[in-house]
Structure 1
Amino acid sequence: MVTLLLDSTQLEVVLSLSERALSFRKGNVVVERSAITKVQLTDDAWTWLRGIPSPGTLVRGVIAMGTWRSAGGDDFALVRRRRPSVVIDLDGHPEYHRIILTTRHGLALVQALRVEVAEEAVDVVDIAAETGTIPVVPEKKPRKRKTPAPAPAPAT
């Protein structure tokens, strides 16, 4: 799961060792708050991917990590399966035009970006906890399968 750190000047996407390897990045993704123009929540991040991974890793329907190059601009993606995600549109960022992240805390991020935060970096979930309840997308319950009807007895 991706870790998001937010302070009064920037949003930092902290990448784990495996995320760095799969996205071919040496460091975290840092975005100035002034560069964030829009934050959107989505249930399917795969529809937001545009272009080709370069450099990046793509296993369709499983993971998409790295830089996506397209005519519309470069995007950074960190997408896992079909989970709730957040799409962050940027203006004036030196590397990316959009960041697409799979996270359960998308709603907390949206709320945290609306409030004033401390000077030091704080986890997005901690900010949401201070401002009210932590909104978490509920886990989907597995569907129960119907038991098949018994086969009719053979005629003798």
Structure 2
Amino acid sequence: MVTLLLDSTRLEVVLSGAERVLAFRKGNVEIERSAISKVQLTDDAWTWLRGVPSPGTHVRGVIAMGTWRSAGGDDFAIVRRRRPSVVIDLDGHPEFERIILTTRHGLALVQALRVEGADEPADVVEIAAETGTTPVQPAAPVRKPRTRKAPTAAPVV
């Protein structure tokens, strides 16, 4: 899971060692706060991927990590399975047009971006806690319990 650090001037996507390897990236992704044009929450990040991973890792339906190149511009993705995600549209970023991240802190990120940031970088969840806003994630879909058919007796011949 990526860590999101936000201060008054920038958002930093801190990647773990495994994420760096799978994304073929040496450092973290840094985004100037002024370059963020729109932030959207989504339940299915896979629909937002465009182009092909180059360089990156893609296992359909499991993970998508790295840079995705397309005619519309380059995107950076860290997507795991079908989990809640955030899509950050950028304007004027030198490297990417869009950032797609699987994170359970998407709502906290949206709320923290609305608040004036501090001078020191802080975790997005901590900022939401300080402002008194409690991030609420949508409830997980309710799944019906699996029922099995009762075995039937074989006809006697």
TM-score of the two chains, using structure 1 as the length reference: 0.95
1:50 corresponds to: 50
Please, what is the CA RMSD of the aligned residues? 1.3
Q: CA deviation at 1:8?
A: 0.4
CA contact (8 A) 2:52 2:70 kept: yes
2:155 equivalent to 1:154: yes
Matches of 1:33 and 1:151, distance apart in 2: 65
Matches of 1:85 and 1:11, distance apart in 2: 16
Q: CA deviation at 1:155?
A: 2.7
Which amino acid counterpart does residue 149 of structure 2 have in structure 1?
Answer: P
Matches of 2:130 and 2:102, distance apart in 1: 23
2:11 equivalent to 1:16: no
CA contact (8 A) 1:104 1:137 kept: no
Deviation per CA, 1:46-71, whole angstroms, max 9, x where unpaired?
00000000000000000000000000
Greater Cα offset, 136-145 or 108-117? 136-145
Percent sequence identity over aligned pairs: 76
Q: CA deviation at 1:28?
A: 0.1
Matches of 1:128 and 1:141, distance apart in 2: 27
1:61 corresponds to: 61
Greater Cα offset, 125-134 or 42-51? 125-134
Matches within 5 A, 1:63-142: 63-131=63-131, 132-140=133-141
Which amino acid counterpart does residue 78 of structure 1 have in structure 2?
Answer: I
Q: CA deviation at 1:139?
A: 4.3
2:157 equivalent to 1:145: no
Q: How many residues align?
A: 156
In the alignment, structure 1 segments of 5+ residues that lack a partner are none
2:6 corresponds to: 6
Matches of 1:129 and 1:22, distance apart in 2: 31
Q: CA deviation at 1:134?
A: 2.7
Which secondary structure does the structure 1 equivalent of 2:47 belong to? helix
In the alignment, structure 2 segments of 5+ residues that lack a partner are none
Which amino acid counterpart does residue 112 of structure 1 have in structure 2?
Answer: A
CA contact (8 A) 2:41 2:87 kept: yes
